[in-house]
Amino acid sequence: MKKIMLAAMASAMLALPAAAEQAATYIHAGRLLADPASGRVETNKTIVVEGGKVSAIRDGFVGEGAVVDLRDAFVMPGFIDSHVHLTFESGPTSRLDAVTKSATDQAFDGVVFAKRTVRAGFTTVVDLGSETEAINGLRDAIATGKVVGPRIIAAGGVAAHGGHGDIHGYRQEILDLFRAKTLCSGADDCARAVRLAVQQGADIIKTASTGGVMSNTAAGLGQQMSDAELVAIVETAHRLGRKVAAHAHGTDGVNAALRAGVDSVEHGTYIDPESIRLFKAKGSYLVPTLLAGHTVSEQAETADWMPDAVRAKARTVGPLMVDALRRAHEGGVKIAFGTDSAVSKHGENAREFALMVEAGLTPLDTIRAATVWAATHVGLENEIGTLGTGKAADIVAVRADPLTDVRALETMAFVMKGGAVVRAADE
């Protein structure tokens, strides 16, 4: 009886969308970077895809029937964006959207943004803050093949009352209505908030140890959560098997988050030598989000909808973030690719690659950050981030050589996610 139940469960877990259940697909790759860690580019290979996974990689161009011709393309594992917000996009009306759009409205917006994201080559994303019901519903609808989009690792947000992560700039009655129940004050309350976030379906915990650029308050970018609160968040999350990503700009808040043991620091604008030492001692990742810095610096000069409290912060951070990544990378800090898309437009995630090259990474290192390094950061290195037998058939291709010109990654020629084509080679 037990055996039968287990077998039934296993086959239920293996159920895949119809597209992936068809017979083998043969992808003819002119140039193939199967394992970005090695950096080895092979020529004239066939990737055999069956049941949503890579079943073999063969020499030469073999196979008949479902053949994808990428003989003149550069083929890689699908990209991972470790920092997006899929259910909204910043713009003139977005502050109002937060209090006027229902969870259903936001989920439908997310359907549109998810499709743009996966068609841009990002087959996995970490959503670090969206409306909870909306993002969990979208995550599950994509996972069961009902909606086209990237694999989503969805965060629950646990942050300080009145800090970044809370809502600002409305009258009190509105704030009381919309304030998330996973905001907290004090260590015990923050442990409660983490537990509630996990109960609500969070795959990962997002916290904010410092102020944020886009929160409509002049509270600055320094530390907002106490050391004790951060420790409580990390300990509680880890006990429940969840990683913690900490939004942090100011040096004090970056270092407090690292001391508390967060798994990643998002942004890291004002990192100092002590931060770099802590990153390495703790094995934490930096997720640089240069595209967000770039976008808000631009908007600070051109967008009349930007609140003054936001504008002042936005002017400063863009250029600082590029320099922070340069120092972190030179110092040997582990980097995972992340854009904070929603600040920039969904589907333009690949613009981050060129900004990372500006910060001194090689094009190959930027691809590593978006594949193998990010896969390890999210704990899915056995499934995604490289192409090999048994790995997910998350496969992208571009026509030009991205190792020569990284901006080639901004124009996708082909995208497959879990064996299903989401951007065909002849589109």
CB nearer to Zn ion: give 159 or 392: 159
Q: Which residues between 168 and 227 bind Zn ion (CB under 5 A)?
A: none
Contact predicate 376/118, CB 8 Å: no
| Residue 21 to residue 17: CA distance in whole angstroms | 7
Instruction: Give min distance, CB of 374 to Zn ion, in A.
Output: 16
Instruction: Give min distance, CB of 214 to Zn ion, in A.
Output: 8
CB nearer to Zn ion: give 344 or 386: 344
Look-up: residue for tokens 């939004």? 247
35 counts as binding Zn ion under rule CB under 5 A: no
Among 81, 89, 166, 340, binds Zn ion (CB under 5 A): 340
- Tell me the window of 174-182, 299-307, 332-340, 368-376 that interacts with Zn ion (CB under 5 A): 332-340
Binding mask 289-328 for Zn ion (x = CB under 5 A): ----------------------------------------
Calculate the alpha carbon distances from 47 to 119, 385, 413 in Å.
20, 15, 16
CB nearer to Zn ion: give 293 or 419: 293
Q: Which residue is nearest to Zn ion (CB)?
A: 340
CB nearer to Zn ion: give 28 or 206: 206
CB nearer to Zn ion: give 35 or 340: 340
Instruction: Give min distance, CB of 289 to Zn ion, in A.
Output: 7
Look-up: residue for tokens 């931060």? 275
Binding-site size, Zn ion (CB under 5 A) = 1
| Residue 419 to residue 54: CA distance in whole angstroms | 8
Instruction: Give min distance, CB of 264 to Zn ion, in A.
Output: 12
CB nearer to Zn ion: give 229 or 340: 340
- Tell me the window of 200-208, 223-231, 335-343, 379-387 that interacts with Zn ion (CB under 5 A): 335-343
Look-up: residue for tokens 């002849």? 426
81 counts as binding Zn ion under rule CB under 5 A: no
CB nearer to Zn ion: give 245 or 359: 245
Instruction: Give min distance, CB of 129 to Zn ion, in A.
Output: 6
Q: Which residues between 252 and 271 bind Zn ion (CB under 5 A)?
A: none
Interface residues with Zn ion (CB under 5 A) are 340
